[in-house]
Structure 1
């Protein structure tokens, strides 16, 4: 996760994961190979007027030394199955504008549609 969320130290990360888990039902799932974490996803169920009952993928990262091995797809498949099993019929996520490789992955490898931009204002 440090490769994706470079701005957090370990203590801040653990604190936010604990708070998000307690308040937002955030789930953190890791994929292991030979006892080592090779990919991680964090997601949470949501109910919104635009997506109804949906799952938001907050985080998805494969270790930089283990990309293009299908790990990201396996984790998204897990999120999709979890969502179906819990009656959530949409999975969505946002991806930084600069992450062109990720966008190709979402559109061509896992069949996600590009449907909107996400806007942010820091307060």
Structure 2
């Protein structure tokens, strides 16, 4: 049975770390927990997990934003399904849950950035979830 829960405690976030680390390979556990705490305090970052039989199979982290371009929307910061559990509908279920919650909360849209190399993810967003490719994201390391 599938269950979607918001992760709030350090123990819950730690349990999700092995899945999140598949996406954020550069993070160790301590930095991961520190960044989540800071993002929660400063930006209302939230993280949900999809459980299958009490095992986390997918996680999604997001935060509310307001910009002139998108208006009031949710920015999907982190979204990953366990690499051993893909193509079973978990990603669709978790992202659809967040879409429905966002609509209920009055957000106008969702947006996310996906690495250029993540072609399978791009097909998922465009073909299965009906997301439109709107822009490139540019970054400058300081």
TM normalised by structure 1 equals 0.98
Matched, 1:121 2:140: yes
Taking only aligned residues, the RMSD between alpha carbons, in angstroms, comes to: 0.6
Question: In structure 2, which of residues 20, 33, 55 is the aligned counterpart of residue 36 of structure 1?
Answer: 55
Q: Which runs of 4+ in 1 moved over 3 A?
A: none
TM normalised by structure 2 equals 0.85
Match of 1:60 in 2: 79
Report if the CA contact (8 A) 1:56-1:92 is conserved: yes
Match of 1:89 in 2: 108
Q: CA deviation at 1:22?
A: 1.1
- Structure 1 stretches of 5 or more lacking a match? none
- Structure 2 stretches of 5 or more lacking a match? 1-19
Q: CA deviation at 1:5?
A: 0.4
SS of equivalent to 1:2: helix
Q: CA deviation at 1:4?
A: 0.4
- How many residues get paired? 123
Question: In structure 2, which of residues 125, 130, 135 is the aligned counterpart of residue 106 of structure 1?
Answer: 125
How far apart are the structure 1 equivalents of 2:97 and 2:112?
15
Instruction: Give matches, 1:9-48, under 5 Å.
Output: 9-48=28-67
Q: CA deviation at 1:81?
A: 1.2
